[in-house]
Structure 1
Amino acid sequence: MSAVSPSTAPAWSRWWNASGVTRLRREGAVAPVLAFVVFFVVYVIINPALLTRFQLQTAANLVVPLVLVALAQLVIVLVGGIDISIGAIMSLANVVFAVQLETMPVPVAILLSLGVGLGCGLFNGFLVAYGGLPAIAVTLASAFIFGSLAREVLDAPGGGVTKEIYLATSGELLPYLPVSLVWLAVIAVLLWLLLQRTSLGRHIYGVGSNMESVRAAGLNAKLTKLLAFGLAGVLTSLGAMMLASSTVTGDPRSGDPYLLSSIAAVALAGAVFTGGRGSIIGTILAACTLGLIGNLLFFARVNSYWQYVISALIIVAVVGIPVVWRKVAFRVKGNRS
């Protein structure tokens, strides 16, 4: 039987392919998209105030740092690694930014914070790529180093984040358009262009999916891993600065909650932890979904302990349901044949 050509395919099939749904499905991003829609609707029903300007701005400022750190974790996962130090890097970049604002111009503080993230990422990347050490072991050890440095820079919440910086990063650009979402959109588009339209991006996906092919093609896999860790460090610094700006303070422990959340967001987005597969839009929506779940449980007045338990169960369900569905569909298809 001949295949159905695009011109004779049903209208819904042509829409399905043209709308990008097929690509989302291929990247494993359908689950986070559906999860975000479901929890957003539930959240609006329970807390209609989310649609007010103030609540939307507050929610955006809370979730943007998590999204940026989750994107950083995604880059590491794409090359087949995982970064346990990402929370500590965030804390260090956060306090460096806040402290430098007390004496330095804003551009200098930004560059120093970005430099800290880049340096931490390259430190991890060098040991992993050129030292041949497991990423989980290297980043676990460096987490203690970076966390200690953060507490040396600032031993308690403080710093010189001003109202002007808050308005420039966490205020409103237009009614119902938080500035933080604009910054996130710019960063996400730049990251997408880097990963999808440059040789470095193709190498990052290649190193994670098929190392043998990368070596056969004569590509420098070690350098690619090193640069991936450096890129992740820069993204983490951006998240750290957005967090410092929205809270108007630096905190040496500010990154602690973001480690597990970033890993959960990447898992929820359907990324493969052996590398080579992961979606930017899926990761963004997965991180937003985690934020919605947390706020939803808070407004439902669920005990803080049970919030973690319920959040974990929801994540397992969202990640596991597509897997079970594929297995059931495969068995049904096998029985029919």
Structure 2
Amino acid sequence: MSPTTTTVRTPAPQRSALSHGVRRLRYEGAIAPVLAFVIFFGVYLAVNPGLLTRFQLQSAANLIAPLALIAIGQLLIVLIGGIDISIGAITSLCNVVFATQIVNLSAPGALALALVVGIVAGGINGVLVAYAKLPAIAVTLATAFIYAAVARQILDRPGGALSKDIYLATSGELLPFVPISLVWLTLIAVGLWFFLQRTSFGRQVYGVGSNRVSLQSAGLKPRLTILVTFMVSGAIVSLGAILLAGSTLTGDPRSGDSYLLSSIAVVALSGASFAGGRGSIIGTILAAAVLGMVGNLLFFAGINSYWQYVISALIILAVVVIPRLFQVITRATSLRRKDDE
């Protein structure tokens, strides 16, 4: 009788959570903003060691949080393969609605109204893009003028009726060294991450940008996905506008003007693909922090803050041009090797 042998199957090695996270960041193009954040944070501490004081930390958080939320709103549109030129005007509109209506409706009522305004503004864009099949860039360029005009009709100069309580609720400290604006940003970002990564509808947002034909073949509705994405984007932007109003204690019909270019620069720096289908929430937040630190470094260096616009434009150009240069170099190298063979 021949002896029997028993084969024991060894379990496949499990990837660690850290390894999976790094792979995910690499896939979403978020490695660059992570490295940029580490480098700029080190430079920032070297130039301004007082960053970690309570006042400096709170000031930096109040600068970065609104930008990060508005950039996340832009990211959502980029994920579906579009771009939102009206995002600065929506910011201004929600900002002045919140600042002016807080007297008539109380703080929760004004917040809810500003949120509804952002959703409706995004919804109008979404209907025109998804159902009228118009280009997102053309639609949002047109609506940007309309939303900006409405904002100036509501409030023609900086003002409003914001109080210190609003500042404490949006831009104060929850605990010592814990800026409440970062708490709000974290809660919103985590909620949106779960929406995008843990729901079938959220995954459709990526699908619309990467392969809309396959989405239609699977019997799903890309038009509805586009509409809802624009509406969610408007809601996120309105929350950024509210944090901006709370940190400055004023409503301003021009408050969102600078955020159009800045939001595009942040999304570009975050590693998102402007062709759609790839982008990262954490990469966008870190990219916003980098851009915010750049602005502060310019301030401490005594350089005019308007140079931040130039830096934003250079970031966009670099993100577009550098990959193209790599493609050209790689193609030239491969052709040279073929010639040598």
- TM-score w.r.t. length of structure 1: 0.90
Aligned residues: 328
Q: CA deviation at 1:47?
A: 0.8
* SS state at 1:20 partner: helix
Provide the rounded CA distance (Å) in 1 between the counterparts of 2:89 and 2:315: 26
RMSD of equivalent CA atoms:
2.5
Provide the rounded CA distance (Å) in 1 between the counterparts of 2:226 and 2:322: 32
Aligned match of 1:88: 89
Aligned match of 2:3: none
Provide the rounded CA distance (Å) in 1 between the counterparts of 2:104 and 2:165: 16
Say if 1:35 and 1:318, in contact at 8 Å, map to a contact too.
no
Provide the rounded CA distance (Å) in 2 between the counterparts of 1:44 and 1:112: 40
Gaps of 5+ in 1: none
* SS state at 1:173 partner: strand
Aligned match of 2:270: 269
Provide the rounded CA distance (Å) in 2 between the counterparts of 1:319 and 1:45: 30
Q: CA deviation at 1:313?
A: 3.4
Matched AA of 1:42 = V
Structure-2 change in CA distance of 1:34 and 1:326 (3 Å): farther
Q: Bigger shift: 272-281 or 323-332?
A: 323-332
Following superposition of structure 1 onto structure 2, how do residues 93-132 of structure 1 map, counting pairs within 5 Å? 93-132=94-133
Following superposition of structure 1 onto structure 2, how do residues 34-183 of structure 1 map, counting pairs within 5 Å? 34-183=35-184
Following superposition of structure 1 onto structure 2, how do residues 1-337 of structure 1 map, counting pairs within 5 Å? 18=19, 20-313=21-314, 316-317=317-318
Gaps of 5+ in 2: 1-10
Q: CA deviation at 1:83?
A: 0.4
Provide the rounded CA distance (Å) in 2 between the counterparts of 1:291 and 1:93: 22
Say if 2:262 and 2:309, in contact at 8 Å, map to a contact too.
no
Show CA shifts across 1:50-85 (max 9, x none).
Answer: 111001000100111100000000101111111000
Q: CA deviation at 1:42?
A: 0.4
Provide the rounded CA distance (Å) in 2 between the counterparts of 1:81 and 1:229: 10
Matched AA of 2:68 = V
Q: CA deviation at 1:324?
A: 5.5
Structure-2 change in CA distance of 1:306 and 1:117 (3 Å): closer
Provide the rounded CA distance (Å) in 1 between the counterparts of 2:78 and 2:210: 11
Say if 1:80 and 1:208, in contact at 8 Å, map to a contact too.
yes
Provide the rounded CA distance (Å) in 2 between the counterparts of 1:270 and 1:297: 24
Pick the structure with greater CA Rg.
2
Say if 1:294 and 1:307, in contact at 8 Å, map to a contact too.
yes
Matched AA of 1:47 = N
Provide the rounded CA distance (Å) in 1 between the counterparts of 2:319 and 2:143: 32
Say if 1:270 and 1:319, in contact at 8 Å, map to a contact too.
no
Provide the rounded CA distance (Å) in 2 between the counterparts of 1:206 and 1:87: 26
Matched AA of 1:146 = Y
Identical-pair percentage: 63
Provide the rounded CA distance (Å) in 2 between the counterparts of 1:156 and 1:239: 20
